[in-house]
Chain A
Amino acid sequence: MHSTTAISMPDGAIPRIGLLRRMIDTLVTYAAAGAVVLVLVPLGAIFAYLVYKGIGSLNWAFLTQTPKPVGEVGGGMANAIGGSILILLIGSVVGVPVGIGAGIYLAEYGRNRFGDLIRFTADVLNGVPSIVIGIVAYGIVVLRQRHFSALAGGVALAIMMIPTITRATEEMLLLVPIQVREAAYGLGVPRWRTTLSITLRTATSGVITGVMLAFARVAGETAPLLFTAFGNQYWNWNVNQPTAALPLQIFTYAISPFDEWHRQAWAGALILIILIVVSVGAVRFVAGRGMLKGAN
């Protein structure tokens, strides 16, 4: 306990801090700042490479064509971009309502033991590795259908979205002051209507942020799609057929031995990041406008 040495100082004098201790203090400050730099370097490097390599390989063909056979130059990932949108759409349609509903239950009716159980389970679900979710979606969709499909991929992503949305919705609804609810009840508004039109409406922007966080998280997921959506060389809009997805395509191309495919993997990665940022930004922008205009 050398902390006590700090107390032994001359009477009435301003405590003088020893040279060694001052040096350690400075050293630690530099070390902490160094840690920040070390952490930010890979981040900067990843983005720099993504833009540098990605833009170089990005062209119109990449966005409009399907992959060419091995050895041929050109072709693109249009079908993978489309497939990703399809799978994410399925995931959102299934996952968002359930997630928000569970969040409403927890916030409005779940201040009890049973609510705690659901809360805990949602946290457990949040921690399940994505590859395990893939196995489960394989078991409940692919095995039943007897083939890989966009639907299976969507279900896997929905399972991953639900816990995040649930907890975010609950947190946001609890921020709405109780008086707002009481005012609505006082006017004779039924409870369901209060929850939907008053409480949820007030918390809209927060809930949407939660939904977009969940969306951004699953948009780049590859592991749960490996043996659910599986991938496809061609266009497919049928939810019951194997479907290409951008992350899958990036993975396949990245581990391939072909330079042309590596180039396309970088372009795909850039598109994936842009897709995530733009969709998150767009939804937040629209939601923000909606809030400002009032509750219509």
Chain B
Amino acid sequence: MANRALGAPRLPGPEPVSEQTVTAKVQSRSVPLLRDADSRFADGTFRLLMLGCGVAVLVLVALIIYELITGGSLAWHAFGWKFFLGRDWDPVNDQFGALTFVYGTLVSSLLALLIAVPLAVGVAVFITEMCPRRLKGPIAFTTELLAAIPSVIYGLWAIFVMVPLLRQYVEPWLGKTLGWTGLFEGTPYGIGMLAAGVILAIMIIPIISSITREVMTAVPQHQREAVLALGATRWEMIRIGVLRNARAGILGGIILGLGRALGETMAVTMVIGNRPEIARSLFAPGYTMASVIANEFSEATGNLYLSSLIEIGLALFIVTIFVNVLAQLLVWTVTRGTPARAHA
């Protein structure tokens, strides 16, 4: 009743949302006014509850670190740093070295970057600078749709569609033309390091391209106008006015993509061949850190075996965190000051 006596309050300011909704809401239920002690208690409780949820996020990360460190300590005490330099992975004799997995993860991820970066940046340049306005939304949306496909479905598609294509057409051709480099020799199985790199590339293109797009739109319009006014062609404008200004952010996007690729599990496990060996040829099968955990964790008998797998997980965790934080900082240097997607 009390608030009705005040008359319908007019809310000031430019709300795009729902002035009337709010008014109606407040009027429809009689809000008890000035029940001080009660509402102060309720406010305090509510705040504590929400704080609890916030703290839960901190606790979760602490828990992850704790679990990984305690779980991996056995392997750490047994092998120390040599764990990451040893090539033996021999559960029967309790000998564990993760070098082949580290190698597989690094090579497949770098290969993915090599393929994905030019394409992703190309897509971003096309969408932000070249594309007719009508196509902008649909292309951006479809590219981002790629990010919504579950990893296991990528893997399924890779096994039955991409790998046969690689085996029949791409790999024989690469072997013939570039075989002399030593990177493309041996029997083209289809399955192997190259397949893992290609499927990873397809999977990380959306993230790299959407971040590149974001930082490119954050470059002020007058930078473009200034370069155009000097008589530049469109490409020169993009190169000098946009890409050069956005390069730190683009690098951030690339590193973020690297972070994804390093931790990606299922699709890679399905096509890389899962054989712990280090080969020069990209046709040869390999094994990654994430894949070995996925394949062997639930069957790991023996504490040292399990602990070794957890230590691989710990290494993966540390590397991805480092990579992600670095990427965030780089993106932030470009988009700082402009609210995200303000021009999109």
Contact = CB atoms under 8 A, between A and B. Distances in A.
A124 B325 contact: yes
B118 A188 contact: no
B49 A188 contact: no
Contact of A129 (B60, B119, B122, B320): B320
Contact of B24 (A24, A132, A295): A295
Interface in B35-58: 39, 42-43, 45-47, 49-58
B267 to A, nearest CB: 10
A80 B102 CA distance: 33
B303 to A, nearest CB: 12
B180 interface: no
B119 A38 contact: yes
B93 interface: no
Given A121-B57, A124-B324, A135-B68, A192 B46 contact: yes
How large, as a class, is the contact surface on chain A?
A: 35 or more
A272 B155 CA distance: 14
21 contacts: A7-B230, A32-B126, A35-B120, A39-B119, A39-B123, A43-B142, A104-B53, A105-B54, A125-B64, A129-B316, A131-B265, A136-B64, A180-B11, A183-B22, A188-B2, A193-B39, A202-B17, A255-B159, A266-B156, A272-B152, A273-B149
Interface stretch (B74-82, B231-239, B276-284): B231-239
Nearest to B340: A171
Interface stretch (B168-176, B182-190, B216-224, B291-299): B291-299
A6 B323 CA distance: 40
Contacts of B270: 251, 254-255
B150 A131 contact: no
Please give me the 9 A-B residue pairs with the lowest Cβ-Cβ distance, nearest first: A220-B150, A129-B263, A101-B53, A35-B122, A192-B46, A127-B324, A6-B231, A190-B39, A179-B13
Size bracket of the B interface = 35 or more
A44 B24 CA distance: 47
Contact of B9 (A108, A118, A183, A262): A183
Contact of A295 (B18, B142, B259): B18
A261 B21 CA distance: 53
Given A28-B235, A104-B50, A36 B123 contact: yes
A223 B290 contact: yes
A208 interface: no
A36 B42 CA distance: 54
B157 A46 contact: yes
A186 interface: yes
A43 B145 contact: yes
A29 B130 contact: yes
Interface in B250-279: 259, 262-266, 270
Given A39-B143, A105-B54, A180-B17, A223 B156 contact: no
B231 to A, nearest CB: 4
Interface stretch (A58-66, A67-75, A159-167, A232-240): A159-167
B321 interface: yes
Given A128-B321, A136-B64, A227-B297, A247 B152 contact: yes
The CB with the most chain B CB atoms within 10 A, among A39, A180, A227, is that of A39
B320 A162 contact: no
Interface string A10-37: 0000010100011011001101111110
Nearest to B127: A36
A269 interface: yes
B150 A109 contact: no
A117 interface: yes
A135 B156 contact: no
A101 B293 CA distance: 33
B153 A106 contact: no
B205 interface: yes
Contact of B25 (A42, A176, A198): A198
A102 interface: yes
A179 B320 CA distance: 41
A109 B57 contact: no
Contacts of B3: 187-188
Given A132-B68, A184-B22, A273-B149, 8 more contacts: A101-B56, A125-B57, A125-B64, A126-B324, A177-B13, A197-B25, A230-B298, A247-B152
